[in-house]
Structure 1
Amino acid sequence: MTDLTRRSFLRLSGVSTLTVAGATFLTGCGPAAQSTNTTTASNTAGAKEEANTGQLGDGKTLRVGMEAAYAPYNWQVESASDTTIPIENVSGAYADGYDVQIAKKIAEALGMEPVAVKMEFGALVDSLVNGQIDIICAGMSVTAERAQSADFTDSYIDDEVVMVVKQDSKYASATKLSDFNGATVLGQKDTFYDDLIDEIPNVNHLTPVATVPLVVDGIENGTCDAITFSSMSLPNLLQNYPDLKKVELESGQGFSDPGNPDNAAIAKGQDQMLAKLNEIIAGISEADRLSIWQDCMDRQPA
């Protein structure tokens, strides 16, 4: 990992951001995905060919990597609808959510049919490099480390990391990170939500868990004193778990860089395609992004 901060990296790499106001959260999960294919020489050769042809994958089917368990960004359902795409490696299952709607717009602009490939968040970048998927649309943010292995688009929505505690917690009135000295804190594996925890002085940094629902389970079950969470997803979390609250940290007393953009990613060496994807994303207005987000929040699973 380099010493670049996330925000500095975004500036240096030319990745733009779009601030989007408030949103809601509700978790969703389904059956475990079937195993994706292992890396083969043909996958590697295919990835190189894609870079030379200026297309993603075979130019017909867009394989979109995601968890399908991170509502409202992406989740799994059992029935097809106008807002879903099939999950290629889970029989009879479909993916919906904000990432899915963006992937559909990208696929339409490229003249391709999108399918989701469900896998753990931490496996996405390697699967992209190995040619098992063509693009990541999964609530993933660009980092200096990830950018060594994949190329990232401009953001198509922007979030922020906040801290959440129980209403009756001794940390409920905290106003700065140092107030959490010695606290036990939990975040999601392979995300900013986990990375930022180490900024808390003398924190008891729990081993991160794989999904957002498991993070919420941690605070609800008393496994931890606090969790890191999505600001955009916070309102519905608090609606569904009224015993929880956001910690209001004073300006300059929180995380050094809580920004958490949502960027798509493709295999390296596809500069022409990266530019095309940025054009497609730029063509989605702020009003449309907000409307899509709100629609996803309204229909996400209970």
Structure 2
Amino acid sequence: MKKLLSILLASLLVVGILGACSKQETSDKKKVLVMGTSADYKPYEYIDSAKSDEIIGFDVDIAKYIAKELGYEIKIKDMDFTGLLAAMEAKKVDFVMAGMTPTAERKKNADFTDIYFTAKNLVISKDGAVQKVEDLKGKTVGVQTGSIQEGKAKDIQKATEIKITDRNRIPELFEELKAGRVDAIIIEDTVAKGYLAKMSELKSIEIPEAADEAGSAIAFPKGSKQTEEFNKVIKKMQDNGEMEKLIKKWFGDEQ
């Protein structure tokens, strides 16, 4: 009887130790947040296929810095830009970071952090065929589906008669322009920079806009506690110079 009791006590002790270890491992394990993005938006998020299949870029570096500060692990899920917010609503991703502007329409279904970067929008054409926005009249303009640039095209369409055509990916827009299937495309300046450097026949003009109309922010589900958590780290990055360092890394010193 004493031997049986000893065996039971020893077994309970082992179970207790294993349980404690298991709890320790669980508590040490970082919470995983899935970031939804569209990895065709260089230098925000893209794949340098010559080097690896890893998604890299400005947004990725910011997300990793914030995750480290808050004790999260980030996993990235690539999809078409137009489906990002829907994927977040369906809980397929935890947040969206894709150079996304927090428009009034998007704010109906998502909460956004503070703006972390502001860029400009360009009209790009071959051989300078478009010298001013008014020159787009009667022309076909390409934009990325669901993007802020699509909204810009629709604003232009209200004042100047144009035909708008959508594509899911940025490279497709440049192919359409090169092939002459569209007369112009609207792209963010930081994204267009690399293409313009390689294609000397392409020329650009800036679309005038109010200061509060542009800027990138991170989208979260409505009521998410992480919105404010991320805001605190964004503010820290802006104050300690980390954000400026990443801007210079990915966009050069021109910003």
TM more than 0.5? yes
Partner of 2:32: 61
Residues 108-257 of structure 1 correspond to what in structure 2 (within 5 A)?
108-167=68-127, 169=129, 171=130, 174-175=131-132, 177-198=133-154, 199-200=156-157, 201-247=159-205, 254=208
- Paired amino acid for 2:245: S
Q: Aligned-residue CA RMSD in angstroms? A: 2.5
Partner of 2:232: 279
Gapped runs of 5+ residues in structure 2?
1-28
Gapped runs of 5+ residues in structure 1?
1-57, 81-91
Partner of 1:295: 249
Gap change, CA 1:219 and 1:257, over 3 Å in 2: farther
Cα deviations by residue, 1:239-264 (Å, 9 ceiling, x for unpaired): 11110111266xxxx45779431110
Gap change, CA 1:288 and 1:248, over 3 Å in 2: same
Query: How far apart, in 2, do the equivalents of 1:114 and 1:224 lie?
Result: 38
* Alpha-carbon distance, 1:207 to partner: 2.2
- Is it true that 1:95 corresponds to 2:55 in the alignment? yes
SS in 1 for 2:218: strand
Partner of 2:220: 266
Q: Could you tell me whether the CA contact under 8 Å between 1:158 and 1:261 is conserved in 2?
A: yes
TM-score (norm. length: structure 1): 0.66
* Alpha-carbon distance, 1:136 to partner: 0.8
Query: How far apart, in 1, do the equivalents of 2:106 and 2:144 lie?
Result: 17
Query: How far apart, in 1, do the equivalents of 2:124 and 2:216 lie?
Result: 21
Query: How far apart, in 2, do the equivalents of 1:237 and 1:78 lie?
Result: 16
* Alpha-carbon distance, 1:267 to partner: 0.8
Q: Could you tell me whether the CA contact under 8 Å between 1:165 and 1:246 is conserved in 2?
A: yes
SS in 2 for 1:107: helix
Q: Could you tell me whether the CA contact under 8 Å between 2:100 and 2:148 is conserved in 1?
A: no
SS in 2 for 1:216: helix
- Paired amino acid for 1:245: K
- Paired amino acid for 1:291: K
Query: How far apart, in 2, do the equivalents of 1:146 and 1:207 lie?
Result: 21
TM-score (norm. length: structure 2): 0.78
- Paired amino acid for 1:266: F
Gap change, CA 1:258 and 1:222, over 3 Å in 2: farther
Query: How far apart, in 1, do the equivalents of 2:128 and 2:60 lie?
Result: 37
Gap change, CA 1:78 and 1:188, over 3 Å in 2: closer
Query: How far apart, in 2, do the equivalents of 1:212 and 1:185 lie?
Result: 13
Radius of gyration: which is bigger?
2
- Paired amino acid for 1:296: W
Query: How far apart, in 1, do the equivalents of 2:172 and 2:139 lie?
Result: 19
Q: Looking at both structures, which has the greater relative contact order when contacts are Cα pairs under 8 Å and sequence separation is at least 6?
A: 1
Q: Could you tell me whether the CA contact under 8 Å between 1:184 and 1:203 is conserved in 2?
A: no
Question: Higher helix share goes to which structure?
Answer: 2
* Alpha-carbon distance, 1:210 to partner: 0.5
Aligned residue pairs, count? 221
